Amino acid sequence: MAKMERLQKVIAHAGVASRRKAEQMILDGKVTVNGKVVTELGTKVSKNDDVEVEGVPIDKEEPVYYLLYKPRGVISSVSDDKGRKVVTDYLPEVKERIFPIGRLDYDTSGLIILTNDGEFANMLMHPKHEVDKVYVAKTKGIPSKEQLQQLKKGMTVDGEYLKAVHAKIMSTDGKKNTAIVQVILHEGKNRQVRRMFDALGYPVDKLKRERYGSLDLKGMNAGEYRPLKPHEVKVLREMAEENVK
């Protein structure tokens, strides 16, 4: 017998909208099941049912989750109008319509998760979701401990408040006048690490995201990917749920 799931969950899993938005769409009469408009939130459907949102059939794909070690010079998107390399180019064997959760800048390398599970993605990107994102930056110049404290206190850059959870110097090279600094963020605003170091006067030469929550890049090279293990997905989901409540 086909597994029955709540209609709003099926819509969210298909990446059409968040679960909350899906509920609103159901209430607004924008969803049909087997050709009939359904406005009941508790409605359960199986894979055998034809679900349409605003007249468009949803794909009932099995949810998949991948970890990619994104190289530098790659766009965190599924397509690029300038013809540059995008993250999905590195997972050509994956048949599902996957997309990246959040983004890493073009010139930043490191860990990014790709999935077709819209609900999972929305949960991980929720602003209240305090998952540790660990970055390692190579700076031009060697910041002092006091200056790194500034990152933790928070700063306003171009009218936007930016703050790190933690920042520490891992190593320094006096001859080259460079430092390797570990920075932990909970949010991930556009070019946040680079902008913070620019504001301190220590431009970032290289930047890599080494860890995302409980996931890291051990044993992987840039451009490689692997499926997440079920328990890894479970741990991330639990982290997100815990912080969003």
Domain locations in the chain?
5-57, 65-128+215-244, 133-212
> 5-57 sits in which CATH class?
alpha beta
Could you tell me which of 232, 208, 221, 211 has the C-alpha nearest to residue 66?
Answer: 232
Q: Give the active site residues.
A: 105
pLDDT at 60: 67
- CATH code for 133-212? 3.30.70.1560
More confident residue, 86 or 3: 86
Fold topology of 65-128+215-244 = Alpha-Beta Plaits (3.30.70)
- Coil, helix or strand for 5? strand
Q: Does residue 2 surpass a pLDDT of 70? A: no
Tell me the pLDDT of the chain averaged across its residues. 90
CA neighbours within 13 Å on the CB side: how many for 4? 5
Q: What is the dihedral of CA 172, 144, 196, 192, to 10 degrees?
A: 50
- Coil, helix or strand for 231? helix
Tell me the pLDDT band of 130, cut-offs 50, 70 and 90. Answer: confident
Could you tell me which of 155, 68, 167 has the C-alpha nearest to residue 109?
Answer: 68
Q: Does residue 9 surpass a pLDDT of 60? A: yes
d(CA 225, CA 243): 27
Same fold, 65-128+215-244 and 133-212: yes
Q: Does residue 245 surpass a pLDDT of 90? A: no
d(CA 13, CA 62): 9
- Coil, helix or strand for 19? helix
More confident residue, 219 or 80: 219
Task: Give the predicted TM-score (pTM) of the model.
Answer: 0.78
> Which tokens sit at 190?
């556009």
> Which tokens sit at 177?
């006048």
pLDDT digits over 137-167, tens only?
999 999 999 999 999 999 999 999 999 999 9
pLDDT digits over 26-75, tens only?
999 999 999 999 998 889 988 788 899 888 888 767 889 999 999 999 99
pLDDT at 97: 83
> Which tokens sit at 137?
């930056």
